């Protein structure tokens, strides 16, 4: 029994054509038309939505739009008009046993699921996962055809970013409940420091914790100071303890990703050093131009 990888990231979009333009035209990915034919797409993993799949290595982005003005997706957009991350789906190699173990450890199924058949994908109750909308699905051998892998600018998903109020709560959820041991070697971050009367450090100081799963990482950001962007995000979006914050695609050439994204009208936040001036490049893109989702593209080198 184990959670083997990220199955998909579920996102809600007001318009699938706009979503395709952002992630395909802008970031160089491609829709898996064999699984979600265009222009019609496919039914989504929850009711009353139309969905397209965009592969990112062993997982995919599941982008869904509401089919009407009512229902869960429509309600999500009523709160966040630009869209955003709706849920995270984990792949299990023994879904019946893993869901039973989650329930033994205090996680409940969503109250609107009804009787579960023991093998279909199933949503968990966010009230028992610190507010995170999580889904569990059976593992599948998902290796998209090269035609659906895009330009090759982005070659994987480095991490899924979650902002949380408490390290202890997140360690309990991911390590003790889901069985994803923390990589303590990647602990980093902290508050800004005082030097000569000035505050030195990042504008948004956080503690970062990593819980690897498959070839990806669940990255937890915990505010290191009460007055910071992440602290405000947690206060606004995470009343039960945690909320999805960003996705972190991996690229060998971050500058090439930046150039293509900016040509497609995607807004970069800040800037990155010129090629050759650094080893580790990280580029951020504003949620308002990325279907309500903060995107962090990086090339984290192996230690």
Q: What is the pLDDT of residues 169-226, one digit of tens each?
A: 999 999 999 999 999 999 998 887 777 667 776 778 899 999 999 999 999 999 999 8
Domains in the chain, please, with CATH?
3-147 (3.10.180.10), 152-298 (3.10.180.10)
For 12, left (φ over 0), alpha (ψ -120 to 50), or beta?
Answer: beta
CA–CA separation, 39 vs 228, rounded Å?
42
Paired tokens of 175: 């390590």
Task: Work out the mean pLDDT of the chain and round it to a whole number.
Answer: 94
Q: Contact at 8 Å (CB) between 136 and 113?
A: no
Phi and psi torsions of 258, nearest 5°: -60, -45
Per-residue pLDDT for 277 more than 70? yes
Per-residue pLDDT for 67 more than 90? yes
Q: Contact at 8 Å (CB) between 158 and 250?
A: yes
CB half-sphere exposure, 54, CA atoms < 13 A: 28
| Structure confidence at residue 131 (pLDDT) | 98
Residue 299: name the closest of 246, 258, 263 by CA: 258
Per-residue confidence band for 113, with pLDDT thresholds at 50, 70 and 90: confident
């Amino acid at each position: 029994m184990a959670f083997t990888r990220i199955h998909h990231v579920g996102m809600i979009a007001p318009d699938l054509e706009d979503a395709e333009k952002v992630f395909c035209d802008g970031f160089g990915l491609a829709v898996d038309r064999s699984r979600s034919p265009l222009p019609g797409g496919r039914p989504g993993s929850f009711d009353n939505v139309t969905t397209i799949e965009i592969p990112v290595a062993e997982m995919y982005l599941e982008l869904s739009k509401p089919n009407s003005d009512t229902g869960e997706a429509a309600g999500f957009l009523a709160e966040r008009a630009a869209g955003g991350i709706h849920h995270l789906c984990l792949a299990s190699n023994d879904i019946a046993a893993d869901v039973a173990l989650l329930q033994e450890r205090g996680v409940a199924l969503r109250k609107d699921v009804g009787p579960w058949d023991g093998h279909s994908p199933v949503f968990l109750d966010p009230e028992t996962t610190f507010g995170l909308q999580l889904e569990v699905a059976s593992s599948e051998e998902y290796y998209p055809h090269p035609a659906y892998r895009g330009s090759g600018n982005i070659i994987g998903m480095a991490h899924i970013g979650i902002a949380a109020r408490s390290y202890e709560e997140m360690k309990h959820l991911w390590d003790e409940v889901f069985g994803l041991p923390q990589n303590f070697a990647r602990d980093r971050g902290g508050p800004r420091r005082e030097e000569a009367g000035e505050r030195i450090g990042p504008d948004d100081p956080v503690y970062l914790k990593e819980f690897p799963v498959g070839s990806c990482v669940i990255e937890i950001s915990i505010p290191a100071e009460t007055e910071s962007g992440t602290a405000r995000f947690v206060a606004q979006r995470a009343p039960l303890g945690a909320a999805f914050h960003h996705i972190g695609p991996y690229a060998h050439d971050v500058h090439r990703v930046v150039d293509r994204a900016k040509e497609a009208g995607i807004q970069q936040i800040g800037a990155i050093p010129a090629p050759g001036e650094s080893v580790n490049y990280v580029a951020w893109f504003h949620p308002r131009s990325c279907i309500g989702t903060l995107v962090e593209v990086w090339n984290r080198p192996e230690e």
